[in-house]
């Protein structure tokens, strides 16, 4: 049987590491292509000896992209930015995605999966959403059979949503409800997105389709903050923050090394982040998505005042 090799661009990130685990389990040989390959070495134990290799690649450099794709029958594009730091949204979301799709088509790569996001929209006020849409367009133009996956907010042990707000709740007396906390989200478990990637590679009729991936429940931003407080055992005020004031605060916060909020993210929060009624979804891939309640408690316990034994201590005190 022909050996299966896949090049994973940006594989050392949050979603990438879970996808690599899923791909290794079903027998793919994996080439992880990163600007800094040494930052991905922690991925080696996810596969058998020699199953996961590494190559230096800047997706804005077409020659490096071609080198990374040599010998692979498939490729996945993960790179994405929440806030520009040394790279721009355009260079990563659009130009990089286009470079990979064009090189994959030119080199005869059979399958390409492109990771985008719900909310990708060329008409959006958000530069993040605009460049995500531009990346999708470039991928479709160069590689029409590519599978595009658009997840909602992705949660899991290393996520930058529940963990971020749980950490914030340890330090401040109140959490902000941007825009009043009415924006709706459909959080999706990272393991389910990884499963969708592995399934799409094995499902011929997935070619050329765009899937929107959301969990089984839609929550408002306020409801998600309430989950954070409940699971961490914290009592904090939830303070509505109008979009105008949030934008002002974000203007200054964006200059922090790891900003809690940027003006572009405030623009994104003006719109719901949920699966469209007519979209292809997990159901079309035969996957039943996991609930927030089933996974989040397993990693937010570390933010409780007494850690994982907080419930036990409470029971003994009664």
**Residue 1 pLDDT:** 43
Domain at 146, CATH number: 3.40.50.720
In a domain, 268, yes or no: no
Q: Report DSSP letters for 69-134, one per residue.
A: HTT-SEEEE----SS-SSS-HIIIIIIIHHHHHHHHHHTT--EEEEE--TT--TT-S-HHHHHHHH
In a domain, 35, yes or no: yes
- Give CA–CA dist 67/204, Å, rounded: 27
In a domain, 241, yes or no: no
**In the chain, how many domains are there?**
1
**Residue 315 pLDDT:** 45
In a domain, 85, yes or no: yes
Question: Binning pLDDT at 50, 70 and 90, where does residue 190 land?
Answer: very high
Q: Are strands 5-9 and 29-34 parallel, antiparallel or unpaired?
A: parallel
Question: Binning pLDDT at 50, 70 and 90, where does residue 311 land?
Answer: low
End-to-end CA distance of the chain: 63
How buried is residue 42: exposed, middle or buried, by Cβ count under 10 Å (0-12/13-18/19+)? exposed
**The model's pTM:** 0.93
| Bridge partners (DSSP) listed for residue 54 | 32
Across residues 99-107, what is the average pLDDT? 98
Across residues 133-143, what is the average pLDDT? 98
In a domain, 25, yes or no: yes
How buried is residue 5: exposed, middle or buried, by Cβ count under 10 Å (0-12/13-18/19+)? middle
Question: Binning pLDDT at 50, 70 and 90, where does residue 169 land?
Answer: very high
**Residue 18 pLDDT:** 96
In a domain, 108, yes or no: yes
Based on C-alpha coordinates, what's the Rg of the chain?
A: 20
In a domain, 169, yes or no: no
Residue 128 belongs to domain spanning:
5-159+187-215+274-287
In a domain, 230, yes or no: no
Spell out a b/e string for 53-80, using b for 16 or more CB atoms within 10 Å of the CB, else e.
bbbebbbbebebbbebbeebbbbbbbbb
């Amino acid at each position: 049987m022909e050996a299966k090799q896949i090049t994973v661009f940006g594989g050392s990130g949050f979603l990438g590491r879970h996808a690599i685990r899923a791909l290794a389990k079903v027998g793919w040989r994996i080439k992880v292509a990163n600007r800094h390959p040494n930052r991905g070495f922690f991925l080696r134990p996810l596969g058998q000896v020699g199953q996961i290799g590494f190559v230096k690649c800047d997706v804005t450099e077409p020659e490096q992209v071609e080198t990374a794709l040599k010998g692979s029958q498939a490729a996945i594009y993960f790179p994405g930015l929440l806030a520009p730091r040394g790279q721009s949204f355009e260079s990563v979301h659009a130009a990089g995605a286009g470079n990979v799709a064009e090189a994959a088509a030119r080199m005869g790569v059979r399958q390409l999966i492109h990771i985008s996001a719900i909310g990708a929209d060329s008409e959006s006020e958000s530069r993040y959403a605009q460049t995500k849409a531009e990346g999708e367009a470039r991928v479709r133009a160069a590689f029409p059979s590519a599978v595009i996956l658009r997840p909602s907010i992705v949660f899991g042990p290393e996520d930058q949503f529940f963990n971020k707000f749980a950490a914030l709740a340890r330090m401040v007396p109140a959490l902000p409800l941007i825009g009043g906390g009415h924006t709706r989200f459909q959080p999706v478990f990272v393991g389910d997105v990884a499963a969708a990637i592995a399934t799409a590679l094995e499902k011929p009729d997935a070619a050329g389709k765009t899937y929107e991936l959301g969990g089984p429940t839609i929550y408002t931003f306020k409801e998600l903050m309430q989950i954070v407080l409940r699971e961490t055992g914290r009592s904090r005020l939830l303070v509505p923050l109008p979009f105008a004031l949030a934008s002002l605060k974000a203007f200054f916060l964006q200059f922090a090394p790891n900003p809690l909020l940027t003006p572009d993210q405030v623009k994104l929060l003006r719109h719901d982040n949920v699966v469209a009624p007519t979209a292809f979804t997990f159901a079309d891939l035969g996957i039943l998505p996991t609930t927030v309640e089933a996974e989040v408690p397993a990693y937010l316990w570390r933010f409780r005042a007494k850690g994982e034994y907080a419930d036990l201590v409470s029971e003994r005190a009664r």
